[in-house]
Amino acid sequence: MLKIHLVLTAIGRRVLLVLSMLVLTVALFAGMQGRAAAADSWSFVRIFHASPDIGTVDVFMDGKKLLSNFQYGTVTAYTPVAAGMHTLQLAAIGTGVNAAVLTQTLALQAGTPYTVVALGTKATGLSLHIFADNNQVASNLARVRFYDMSPGTGVVDVSEQGNMLINGLAYAQASNYVNIPPGSYTFTFTSSQENMSASVSVQLNAWTVTGIFAINALNNGNTDSQLQFVQSQITGMPGMPGTGSDPYVAAEQTSLPISWPPVILLALCSASAGTIAFFCRARGKRHTEETHV
């Protein structure tokens, strides 16, 4: 009988070890699934202030302050936002969300980065324009996109040393992306309607995505140009919509623990408890027999 108990005890130990490994594996797999699900539920938003008439503003998302002291010609970094419907509002600094001068509902898709631009004048009307971004970069290239956010300059063309890159870019529109070898470039914006041209010098690095925003020049001392340029360069990401860094880190950190189905938890707990009880009884019998011997 003693040998039988020893064999059963050894089997119990092995079963307990297997069950423990099973529980650990399921927990790790569930955690990975939970992080992936959390990442897939986020979108990413950056905001650019291109309206000279609304001045410095506070920005609210769903009634909660997202940015304070947001000034003309400023572009933010990407911020993770839960996918779905959201209300974005801009109000003069310190006046509160109820005094918003711009309000718009945004429909954000999971895994997609967006650029939201506040633009317009009191004469032409104020508005928010949203652009879906594609920050995928490949083949060690740089990627650049142009935004015409300057009212009154008409339709513009964008060229580089006489080479036409973008033709007929209208106000409040963003161009297609241009893939280009990394290096130093001077891009020229030309408006045939206004007989105006202005240039901006840019250093494009490999594996980056650069946004060049053309807006109205305000007291910049340059009487030869009606434009000023704002640049935003981020690190692109191969094979996914990048945001300048891993966009899913913040989303993963705020993810909730995954909930296991009660049936699975009950089965695992019952099996583990039964194995432990069996192991304890076997040890008890072995100890009693050894004492009697």
- Chain-centre distance for alpha carbon 113: 6
Strand partners, 113: 44
Percentage of the residues of the chain whose pLDDT score is greater than 90: 54
- Please tell me which residue, 152 or 150, carries the higher pLDDT value: 150
The whole-number pLDDT of residue 164 equals 96
Report the distance separating Cα 221 and Cα 115, nearest Å: 29
Q: 100-108 and 84-92 as β-strands: parallel, antiparallel, unpaired?
A: antiparallel
Residue 170: both structure tokens together:
């209208």
The whole-number pLDDT of residue 2 equals 46
For the segment 183-195, the average pLDDT, to the nearest whole number, is: 89
Helices (H) and strands (E) in the chain, counts: 3, 17
Of 149, 187, 191, 183, residue with least CA distance to 51: 149
Q: List C-alpha distances in Å: 163 to 83, 159, 187.
A: 40, 5, 10
For the segment 263-292, the average pLDDT, to the nearest whole number, is: 47
- Helix, coil or strand: residue 10: helix
* Per-residue pLDDT band at 225 (split at 50, 70, 90): low
Report the distance separating Cα 13 and Cα 23, nearest Å: 15
Task: List domains and CATH numbers for the chain.
Answer: 2-38+260-292 (no CATH), 45-134 (2.60.40), 137-236 (2.60.40.2890)
